[in-house]
Chains A and B, each alone.
Chain A
Amino acid sequence: MTIPTNSDSTRTEGGVDTQLLPSPVPVQLIDHHGEAHPDARYALPDPQALLAGYARLISGRRINDQANALVRQGRLAVYPSSHGQEACQVSAALVLQSQDWLFPTYRDTVAVITRGVDPLEVFTLLRGDWHSGYDPYELHVAPQATPLATQLLHAVGVAHAAKLRGEDTVVLALCGDGATSEGDFHEALNFAAVFHVPVVFFVQNNEYAISVPLKNQSVAPSLAHKAIGYGMPGERVDGNDLAALLSVLGAAVDSARSGGGPALIEAHTYRMQAHTNADDATRYRAAEDVDKWIPKDPISRLRTYLRGLSLLDDAVEEQFAAEAEAVAAAIRVGLNADVEVDPQELFAHVYTQKTAQLREQADLLRDELSREAVQS
């Protein structure tokens, strides 16, 4: 992956700049046996950074498990788990600086929490109190997007505005493999390339869009190959290798920050669980297919690697597990408490000032509720 300096430079008289093409196999720095492999282009991150990342993986896995349990207990309406994709989640948050923006989807709860957003505010959506619970400006995290690929264009707009003001802001926008079939994916990549704005598009290819496998979405050599069609660099990375993700995403973010324009990164990972708890994955994929991915788990390989460096031992593992448990406990306690939602809020934010019609409707509901309160 070579970074062009401006959006025109990819179209040359002599032909196409094939350096925009991704590597033929996904970049991997630590294999699933925990062995490191040097790469000419991507340096292995500092071991301390990997250790810190490992702690976040442990936390991320615990958050996924906790959220699934809360769905079973009826405390959350639904949870799209990122179990198995935690390395993508953690790296997406860790490569950004405070002035940068993250644009997550419904699947990226762990990324949002890793960026620092209060988990209870994140779960407002899935608990059903409101459509989004955190202030996007506080940590520069957009609301988790549900309509597929639509958020990628917002990411382009945020980056474009920042660029016009000469600000040092990079935007990292997440989407899934299925979302790359949407028109908004195409429009976002094309706009980002034409306006040469600092957006890193990060596709978590977990091989499924609900029940539909990737081969029904696209027959491109890889999703990252699509980048060259927009004149931006594409890269493929092992999505269960935190080291490779930090290095590849980090390089794309650095390049975008220094004026190199947008990039498309595809992480090869796997959705280890059903689409959500409401889905029955046995209807469309075999258990053996899932089992093949168990040895490729993002946590186990990094554990082996860090233990090999003597950076991780039982005591440190216990400490990380305790930290993760504390996060889970806070989520449990928070979500077991009922929160009052004021029904008047339904009318308060449709416009900055209530219209006459909304005032009438708000009064009607208030009246209804006060009569109910008197009766009961």
Chain B
Amino acid sequence: MTQISERAAAPVEAPARPADPSAAESTARSAATAVTFAKALNTALADAMAADSSVLMFGEDVGPLGGVFRITDGLTARFGPGRCFDTPLAEAGIMGMAVGMAMNGMRPVVEMQFDAFAYPAFEQVVSHVAKLPNRTKGRVLLPMVIRIPYAGGIGGVEHHCDSSESYYAHTPGLTVLAPATVRDAYLMLREAIASPDPVVFLEPKKLYWSKEVVDLGELRRAFEDGSAPRTIGSAVVARSGTDATLIAYGPSVPTAMAAAAAAAEEGRSLEVIDVRSLVPFDDETVCASVRRTGRAVVIAETPGFASVAAEIVARVQERCFHSLAAPVRRVTGFDIPYPAPKLEHHFLPSVDRILDTVDELQWEDGQ
């Protein structure tokens, strides 16, 4: 397990670096540079902690180590062990303590080390995180964020690659977010921490070391002065197109973008919607796109049965029936436990599988 963590944790440009407490400030001065998804998350945490002393970060190995993926790098050094700290190894303990802290004036951010290791905390999530505000008619709010390094595509061994979003999305009371871009990684984590409602924040592991040219200082200003558009409850058109809509979120967004690029070379114009906010779900943006294109494929790296992808198909069908030229299709993983590293490529939605499915969308002219 350690092997996997270390491998997955190794940033593209440099291995685990020592804590750099000034890192977050320095970005304020710099203009746009190539920034990793991981760095954007790290900066969002640092900025949120700097802006609000009630924001706390805790979990397993998130202290001096900075987390197995280094997302909390430098936070203990900068904010002290009262603000970012390691807990005993007990996920229900982490979650339950966070509930109590959120009840008592704090804004805890907890890290579940890996998707499949969040399951011991499930009772706390379902019975309390999701229900306590409703139980108390909103007298007790739980402004807390559950960060989960999530999903596969990193060659991880068993228990390190689960796509667990459907469990959370099925639970009323939870906001469930899955960013797919570096910019969204920053803005959505800031928004999650600022939210009065509990948020499950799914961080696609395979995107941690992806890079984008962004100006983190500018994003910070835009978030803090309120000019950045809100992301919770809003999907975005990641690529415009006219012939069919690919609906994706989190780790499946880059795959959908690659498929759209490949389709363009073959003369087919695909629109890509990045759902990014699984709950609340943005029916409007998704349906507006499908009504324009008349065809849709939902792409998710999870077993398809009883999944978020299944829900999206149902919603689109119910709302856009008369605009549809073909049944709404899904490209998901198979209904099997997440495969071993050498087999995961068979499971994950690929560009080819997406394009094959698009080909099957009853194009009358036989394109």
What residues of chain B lie closer than 8 Å to A156, measured between beta carbons? 93, 96-97, 100
B84 CB to nearest A CB, Å: 12
Query: Is A157 touching B197 in the complex (CB atoms < 8 A)?
Result: no
What residues of chain B lie closer than 8 Å to A356, measured between beta carbons? 233, 280, 283-284
What residues of chain A lie closer than 8 Å to B244, measured between beta carbons? none
Query: Is A136 touching B98 in the complex (CB atoms < 8 A)?
Result: no
| Residue from A157, A165, A187, A194 within 8 A of B103 (CB atoms) | A157
Query: Is B123 touching A147 in the complex (CB atoms < 8 A)?
Result: yes
Tell me, yes or no, whether A126 is within 8 Å of chain B by CB: no
Query: Is A131 touching B135 in the complex (CB atoms < 8 A)?
Result: yes
Q: A150 and B96 in contact (CB under 8 A), knowing A131-B135, A350-B134, A352-B197?
A: yes
Q: A157 and B136 in contact (CB under 8 A), knowing A164-B106, A191-B88?
A: no
B349 CB to nearest A CB, Å: 26
Among B22-30, B138-146, B217-225, which stretch is in contact with chain A? B138-146
Tell me, yes or no, whether B77 is within 8 Å of chain A by CB: no
Query: Is A190 touching B88 in the complex (CB atoms < 8 A)?
Result: yes
Query: Is A350 touching B98 in the complex (CB atoms < 8 A)?
Result: no
Tell me, yes or no, whether A155 is within 8 Å of chain B by CB: yes
Contact flags (1/0) for B104-126 with A, using CB distance below 8 Å?
11101000000000001001100
Tell me, yes or no, whether A153 is within 8 Å of chain B by CB: yes
Query: Is A162 touching B137 in the complex (CB atoms < 8 A)?
Result: no
Can you add 17 more A-B contacts, CB < 8 Å, to A131-B131, A131-B135? A135-B136, A143-B132, A147-B123, A153-B93, A153-B100, A154-B128, A157-B108, A184-B124, A187-B93, A190-B90, A194-B88, A350-B134, A350-B173, A352-B197, A355-B281, A356-B280, A357-B281
Tell me, yes or no, whether A349 is within 8 Å of chain B by CB: yes
A345 vs B134: C-alpha distance in the bound complex, in angstroms? 9
Query: Is A355 touching B104 in the complex (CB atoms < 8 A)?
Result: no
- Residues facing B in A215-244 (CB within 8 A) are none
Tell me, yes or no, whether B185 is within 8 Å of chain A by CB: no
Tell me, yes or no, whether B267 is within 8 Å of chain A by CB: no
Tell me, yes or no, whether A2 is within 8 Å of chain B by CB: no
Q: A349 and B92 in contact (CB under 8 A), knowing A150-B123, A355-B280?
A: no
A218 CB to nearest B CB, Å: 20
Query: Is A157 touching B100 in the complex (CB atoms < 8 A)?
Result: yes
Tell me, yes or no, whether B102 is within 8 Å of chain A by CB: yes
Tell me, yes or no, whether B175 is within 8 Å of chain A by CB: yes
A-B contact count (CB 8 A): 134
A78 vs B195: C-alpha distance in the bound complex, in angstroms? 37
Q: A157 and B137 in contact (CB under 8 A), knowing A194-B88, A355-B280?
A: no
Measured CB to CB, the residues of B under 8 A from A are 56, 82, 87-88, 90, 92-93, 95-106, 108, 120, 123-124, 127-128, 131-141, 172-173, 175, 196-197, 233, 279-281, 283-284
What residues of chain A lie closer than 8 Å to B82, measured between beta carbons? 164
Query: Is B127 touching A150 in the complex (CB atoms < 8 A)?
Result: yes
A74 CB to nearest B CB, Å: 24
Chain A residues bordering chain B, tally (CB within 8 A): 39
What residues of chain A lie closer than 8 Å to B138, measured between beta carbons? 348-349, 352
Query: Is B127 touching A188 in the complex (CB atoms < 8 A)?
Result: no
B279 CB to nearest A CB, Å: 7
What residues of chain B lie closer than 8 Å to A184, measured between beta carbons? 92-93, 96, 123-124
What residues of chain B lie closer than 8 Å to A161, measured between beta carbons? 100-101, 103-106
Q: Name the residue on B nearest A103 (C-beta).
A: B100
Q: A159 and B103 in contact (CB under 8 A), knowing A131-B134, A150-B124, A184-B92?
A: no
B99 CB to nearest A CB, Å: 5
What residues of chain A lie closer than 8 Å to B175, measured between beta carbons? 351
Contact flags (1/0) for A168-212 with B, using CB distance below 8 Å?
000000000000000110011011001000000000000000000
What residues of chain B lie closer than 8 Å to A154, measured between beta carbons? 96-97, 99-100, 103, 128
Tell me, yes or no, whether A19 is within 8 Å of chain B by CB: no
Tell me, yes or no, whether A66 is within 8 Å of chain B by CB: no
A222 CB to nearest B CB, Å: 24
| Residue from A152, A188, A352, A357 within 8 A of B141 (CB atoms) | A352
Query: Is B92 touching A160 in the complex (CB atoms < 8 A)?
Result: no
What residues of chain A lie closer than 8 Å to B279, measured between beta carbons? 355
A20 vs B29: C-alpha distance in the bound complex, in angstroms? 55
Tell me, yes or no, whether A284 is within 8 Å of chain B by CB: no
Interface centre among A132, A161, A164, A351 (most CB of B within 10 A): A351
By Cβ-Cβ distance, the 6 closest A-B pairs, closest first, are A157-B100, A153-B96, A187-B93, A355-B280, A154-B100, A161-B104
Query: Is B93 touching A190 in the complex (CB atoms < 8 A)?
Result: yes
B59 CB to nearest A CB, Å: 13
B304 CB to nearest A CB, Å: 21
Q: Name the residue on B nearest A130 (C-beta).
A: B137
Identify 18 residue pairs between A and B in the complex whose beta-carbon atoms are under 8 Å apart, listed by A's number: A132-B135, A150-B96, A150-B124, A150-B127, A153-B96, A153-B100, A154-B103, A156-B97, A156-B100, A161-B105, A183-B120, A184-B124, A187-B92, A348-B137, A348-B138, A350-B173, A351-B173, A351-B197
Q: Name the residue on B nearest A163 (C-beta).
A: B82
A351 vs B172: C-alpha distance in the bound complex, in angstroms? 9
Q: A153 and B92 in contact (CB under 8 A), knowing A349-B134, A352-B197, A355-B280?
A: yes
What residues of chain A lie closer than 8 Å to B132, measured between beta carbons? 143
A152 vs B120: C-alpha distance in the bound complex, in angstroms? 16
What residues of chain A lie closer than 8 Å to B133, measured between beta carbons? 349-352
Query: Is A158 touching B101 in the complex (CB atoms < 8 A)?
Result: yes
What residues of chain A lie closer than 8 Å to B88, measured between beta carbons? 187, 190-191, 194
A131 vs B137: C-alpha distance in the bound complex, in angstroms? 9
Contact flags (1/0) for A23-52 with B, using CB distance below 8 Å?
000000000000000000000000000000
Q: Name the residue on A nearest B141 (C-beta).
A: A352
Q: Name the residue on B nearest A351 (C-beta).
A: B197
Tell me, yes or no, whether A142 is within 8 Å of chain B by CB: yes
B75 CB to nearest A CB, Å: 15
A157 vs B90: C-alpha distance in the bound complex, in angstroms? 14
Query: Is A157 touching B280 in the complex (CB atoms < 8 A)?
Result: no
A135 vs B138: C-alpha distance in the bound complex, in angstroms? 10
What residues of chain A lie closer than 8 Å to B135, measured between beta carbons? 130-132, 143
A145 vs B274: C-alpha distance in the bound complex, in angstroms? 39
Query: Is B136 touching A136 in the complex (CB atoms < 8 A)?
Result: yes
Contact flags (1/0) for A327-359 with B, using CB distance below 8 Å?
000000000000000000100111110011100
